[in-house]
Structure 1
């Protein structure tokens, strides 16, 4: 079974990736000192804060009950690390794609695109007109693994909004992606069909046809 579940404080332990649990985007060292709390505690507090102000800041993907990836999205005012980038948006209400991370064997299979699509779909629910992201070009020095790459984002529809040699800010107009739900379900089915040992769950429609589906739990 494949599911995309809202990110809640009790699910921060299911965040995946090479640096998980990671607070890169949520924190900025002050006067050379970092927050002394454990990363999971910091993340849980961040999720709770964003949820109270805006809504669940992302989704966690599960395959057969196991965490497979996650996507984070939040208004810029809740993404503290943006202040370290020259291309950070001036409007604190700008909705930002923070990161999208997958774990093997799904890292190269297309599920990351599905996660980005789910973030855009959540943005649409909030009546947002666009979604922005600060990303990295190959010239970026000491790039953090939670910073998405420009090439991937351009493939899924983002375009440069404010250019920079290393860390441009990209933007996608959400009116161009109004069919995200069906596209995401179809993409998940195609990707998981190629993963050994994972079989799509058929979903029967009124017309008698069937296709594999992804569960999108609110």
Structure 2
């Protein structure tokens, strides 16, 4: 059974899964002018900084307590590598889907989609309007393992915000997701209403009153008005 847990400092080592720790997005090449750091030390400091100033920067998926994948989601200001891309967002507060990685034995099981859905829920908790990602076109997929392929995120509803032949920036409008979710709920209610013997739970307006109670109150007021007239 899958278990999604926040990325914390004590779980940094679990980011590796069945591959090496990826520090691609947390670093920027400087032509060898700086001393290289151990990946776990760099990532630990990065997670600590992001958590202290924004919140946990992602989720790790576990199956029977074994890490099998993770998703990273943070504001652009915490992603140094963005500076190396021509499509980097101009606003440092832009919420970026940094990467989604899963173990080889989890491929084809929908885990990557589940992890992106977890990122969307986290974004909604932060009350942002969209998530963006810099992804790779097909001919560049695999050049950097931590860069998502554009076809994957486009299939999830991301649309091009700034095009590029190799590394476009794509955006997912979270307001659209909320609208779709509400529309789906309305469709379910209508379908249930057509089933004999099934009575859907009345809708609840923002003030907490059920629609049935609001309707009764409106009918009562109408009768009172007619009586006065």
For Structure 1 versus Structure 2, the TM-score category normalised by the shorter chain is 0.7 to 0.9
Tell me, yes or no, if the aligned pair for 1:29 and 1:35 is still in contact at 8 Å.
no
Structure 2 residue aligned with 1:105: 105
Q: How do 1:1-218 residues align onto structure 2 when only pairs under 5 Å count?
A: 1-16=1-16, 19-140=19-140, 143-178=143-178
In 2, Cα distance between the equivalents of 1:111 and 1:16? 16
Give 1:180 deviation, angstroms: 11
In 2, Cα distance between the equivalents of 1:53 and 1:163? 31
Larger radius of gyration: 2
Tell me, yes or no, if the aligned pair for 1:12 and 1:43 is still in contact at 8 Å.
yes
Structure 2 residue aligned with 1:205: none
Higher strand share: 1
Higher helix share: 2
Deviations 1:148-195 (A, max 9, x none): 0000001111011100000000000112234999xxxxxxxxxxxxxx
Give 1:77 deviation, angstroms: 0.5
Structure 1 residue aligned with 2:188: none
Structure 2: gaps of 5 or more residues = 182-229
Aligned residues: 181
Say if 1:64 and 1:77 are closer, same or farther in 2 by CA, change over 3 A. same
SS where residue 105 of structure 1 aligns? helix
Tell me, yes or no, if the aligned pair for 1:9 and 1:48 is still in contact at 8 Å.
yes
SS where residue 131 of structure 2 aligns? strand
Tell me, yes or no, if the aligned pair for 1:121 and 1:180 is still in contact at 8 Å.
no
Please, which moves more after superposition, 24-33 or 79-88? 24-33
Tell me, yes or no, if the aligned pair for 1:25 and 1:98 is still in contact at 8 Å.
yes
Q: RMSD across aligned C-alpha pairs, in angstroms?
A: 2.0
SS where residue 139 of structure 1 aligns? helix
Tell me, yes or no, if the aligned pair for 2:161 and 2:169 is still in contact at 8 Å.
yes
In 2, Cα distance between the equivalents of 1:12 and 1:118? 18
Structure 1: gaps of 5 or more residues = 182-218
State the TM-score, normalized to the length of structure 2: 0.74
In 2, Cα distance between the equivalents of 1:67 and 1:180? 32
Tell me, yes or no, if the aligned pair for 1:100 and 1:148 is still in contact at 8 Å.
yes
Deviations 1:48-91 (A, max 9, x none): 10111110000000011100100001110100000110000011
Tell me, yes or no, if the aligned pair for 2:16 and 2:22 is still in contact at 8 Å.
no
Say if 1:16 and 1:163 are closer, same or farther in 2 by CA, change over 3 A. same
Say if 1:34 and 1:137 are closer, same or farther in 2 by CA, change over 3 A. farther
